[in-house]
Amino acid sequence: MNFLSYLINGISLGSVYAIIALGYTMVYGIAKMLNFAHGDVIMVGCYVTFLTMSRQGWHPLPAVLLSMVVCTALGITIEKIAYKPLRRAIPLAVLITAIGVSYFLQNAALLIFGADTKSFTSVVTLPALKLADGALTISGTTIVTVVACIVIMVALSLFIKKTKAGQAMLAVSEDKDAAQLMGVNVNATISLTFAIGSGLAAIAGVLFCSAYPTLTPYTGSMPGIKAFTAAVFGGIGSIPGALIGGILLGIIEILGRAYISSQLSDAIVFAVLIIVLLVKPTGILGKKMQEKV
Amino acid sequence: MKKLNLKSMKKQTREQLFTYTVIIVVYIVVQLLIAAGSMSSLMQGLLVPMCTYSIVAIGLNLCVGYLGELSIGHAGFMCVGAFTGALCTKLLEGTITNKVLLLICALLVGTVVAALFGFLIGIPVLRLKGDYLAIVTLAFGEIIKNIINVLYIAKDTDGFHFAITNGNAIKLSDEGMWLINGAKGISRIPHLSSFTAGIILILVSLFVVYNLVNSRSGRAIMAIRDNRIAAESVGINITKFKLMAFTISAAIAGAGGVLYAHNLSTVTATPANFGYNMSIMILVFVVLGGMGNFRGSIIAAALLTLLPEVLRELKDYRMLIYAIVLIAMMLFNWAPKCIEWRQKIVTRLKKNTGKGAA
């Protein structure tokens, strides 16, 4: 029974990773860059929800919606100011800029909100589900997290397959220049990708903080890096890959924490990343990229 | 052709000598200031950290500027160097009484072990490129920190005791001594670092990297950075040279770590010491000083360590300023509009000086 409850916790954490990983994987697929600041957008989303909900007493729903709006705007702004001018620059320059943005958000939050830990109240008020005569308890947060993850995955897949904007995204990720020649507005598509990724980050952040209710300016960076690991694990650029990678990573982390050592759980997750990259650098569902000479 | 080569070689040697001279002059001036008593103890306390950061920045610059690969795990190598160096000192403390000799031993051990880690990690990791390499080095830094935090080593009359995650498992006899006490790290490290040692270490690191980048191997490393496929097709062994640069870079970071540890009485593997933030700070020094410019790294490290202490009001904003420096430098160097603007300025300046001369 213990194992089962660990497994469920793992799936719940994995669902959060999967939602964050979506942001990484979409941006990586289209802009071919690792958006280091994604994790910190999550943190900003959490602070917005925290301030409106716990301080102003808002209902959770408008609070989460507001944080989504703020994060979306933030994502677009970051893209416009920091990444867009570097579209033709060497990858190293883009990577350093992304690290700079991440660092900027963390330290700006540190100055604005302070370094003290805020205790986040869960946005989910659903009662816990008791199964097998109370031997197995599934918290409301877990249920909402898993459901949200599935809904987001399905909606995003449909969006990409069925809408014009989604098809434009696919085209840009395939070949930016060819897409432009076909009349796709590349800049708008990239902005849209950042907007969707950042909006999802807000949801992921709120769900993460509902499960682990401590909020500091550094809250976002670790889940962010782990979610990137999940995206790589599942195959970067692939939406089902993000789901599979996220959930597997969540399960590995929780089981590692339970059965090996709680202090080593991060090390285990990162060891998984290194092994995956060495054995199958394209991830589980990734496509192999040919290198052009 | 040959003559031209000779000339350029001489220029490089001249530049090297110039750098060494400037560093030595700075050293003498600082020593004179200390002797004259016109340097506050606060400033004196900053001298060793300044040297440490300069050394690690030199190491990272080799990796970022010459190899063209971003490592955000150099704090991990620093951590390895710091812990093995301090461990070595603790073990040899009773046997060797000469402080200089003790520090040299620690430096050797710390550097060699950090190099070994760099080598072992480099073998698999350097097959990756760009973003992947960066994230794996980051992951590696976190793993090192995690493992050291759960590592317990102690010594007593029965010999050595090791434990992982469970420090209570070790039962020590009375005269036993903790070497690494998990998250509490290594304590009571003798204070061996000094400004002199730091300057000598900077000179040695500079000597190593200058000779590397001006050698045949160095040119091979730069060729790989500029065009990997072209380099491979002219027969350069990519793995070998990448590994070489990465290992040396890690070794230098390790040496910096040893210096860092012996300036503190207790060294712990906390995020503040050897975490992501430290790696980023070193990266800021490298980027601000100019990627591929070792002199720049030292100047940037020295300035950015001194500035927040001198301008106390700015202390809270230090990290924020680092972040803005990173973004602004990249935009300034790479954004098309900035490049255009820079060219405009340059042509205008040239015109003006041209008129002045005529």
Distance from CA of B349 to the nearest CA of A (A): 25
Chain B residues lying within 8 Å of A100, measured CB to CB:
323-327, 330
Overall domain count for chain A: 1
Identify which of A104, A100, A81 has the alpha carbon closest to the alpha carbon of residue A34: A100
Higher pLDDT, A156 or B169: A156
B19 within a domain of the structure (yes/no): no
Q: Is B135 on the interface with A (CB under 8 A)?
A: yes
Higher pLDDT, A130 or A87: A87
Give the residue from B294, B310, B326 where a domain finishes.
B310
pLDDT value at residue B358: 45
Do B195 and B336 have their domain in common?
Answer: no
Report whether pLDDT(B130) > 80: no
Q: Which long-range contacts (CB under 8 A, 24 or more apart) does A159-165 make?
A: A160/A239, A165/A189, A165/A192
B27 within a domain of the structure (yes/no): no
Q: Do A104 and B165 touch (CB under 8 A)?
A: no
Overall domain count for chain B: 2
A99 within a domain of the structure (yes/no): yes
Do B142 and B174 have their domain in common?
Answer: yes
A215 within a domain of the structure (yes/no): yes
Higher pLDDT, B324 or B10: B324
Give B5-26 pLDDT, tens digit per residue.
Answer: 555 557 788 888 999 999 999 9
B231 within a domain of the structure (yes/no): yes
B332 within a domain of the structure (yes/no): yes
B5 within a domain of the structure (yes/no): no
The span from the CA of A255 to the CA of B123, in Å, is: 29
Higher pLDDT, A43 or A127: A43
Give B222-257 pLDDT, tens digit per residue.
Answer: 999 998 889 999 999 998 999 999 999 999 999 999
A86 within a domain of the structure (yes/no): yes
CATH of the domain at B139: 1.10.3470
A289 within a domain of the structure (yes/no): no
The span from the CA of B21 to the CA of B36, in Å, is: 22
Do B251 and B324 have their domain in common?
Answer: no
A287 within a domain of the structure (yes/no): no
Do B207 and B329 have their domain in common?
Answer: no
> Which residue of A94, A103, A275 to mutate against B (max B Cβ within 10 Å)?
A103
- Its domain, for residue B85, covers 48-310
Which region among A226-230, B71-75, B165-169, B352-356 has the lowest average model confidence (pLDDT)?
B352-356
Do B231 and B346 have their domain in common?
Answer: no
ipTM over 0.85: no
pLDDT value at residue B1: 44
Residue-averaged pLDDT of chain B: 86
Give B267-319 pLDDT, tens digit per residue.
Answer: 888 877 788 888 888 998 998 898 889 999 999 999 888 877 777 777 778 78
A285 within a domain of the structure (yes/no): no
Do B202 and B219 have their domain in common?
Answer: yes
What is the C-alpha end-to-end distance of chain B, expressed in Å? Answer: 34
> Which residue of A107, A187, A228 to mutate against B (max B Cβ within 10 Å)?
A107
- Among all residues of chain B, which has the CA nearest to that of A78? B327
B13 within a domain of the structure (yes/no): no
Do B229 and B327 have their domain in common?
Answer: no
Distance of CA A183 to the CA centre of its chain: 30
Do B95 and B153 have their domain in common?
Answer: yes
B16 within a domain of the structure (yes/no): no
Do B288 and B355 have their domain in common?
Answer: no
Do B246 and B322 have their domain in common?
Answer: no
Identify which of A280, A275, A277 has the alpha carbon closest to the alpha carbon of residue B131: A277
Give B343-356 pLDDT, tens digit per residue.
Answer: 888 888 888 876 55
CATH of the domain at A21: 1.10.3470
Report whether pLDDT(A60) > 80: yes
pLDDT value at residue B235: 92
pLDDT value at residue B298: 94
Do B151 and B291 have their domain in common?
Answer: yes
The span from the CA of B329 to the CA of B64, in Å, is: 15
Q: How confident is the model over A139-158, as a mean pLDDT?
A: 92
B294 within a domain of the structure (yes/no): yes
Question: CA B346, B329, B48: angle at the middle one, nearest 5?
Answer: 120
Residue A178 pLDDT grade (very low, low, confident, very high; cuts 50, 70, 90): very high
- Among all residues of chain B, which has the CA nearest to that of A100? B323
Residue-averaged pLDDT of chain A: 88
Give B145-154 pLDDT, tens digit per residue.
Answer: 888 888 888 8
A22 within a domain of the structure (yes/no): yes
A89 within a domain of the structure (yes/no): yes
Do B131 and B267 have their domain in common?
Answer: yes
- Its domain, for residue A145, covers 2-279
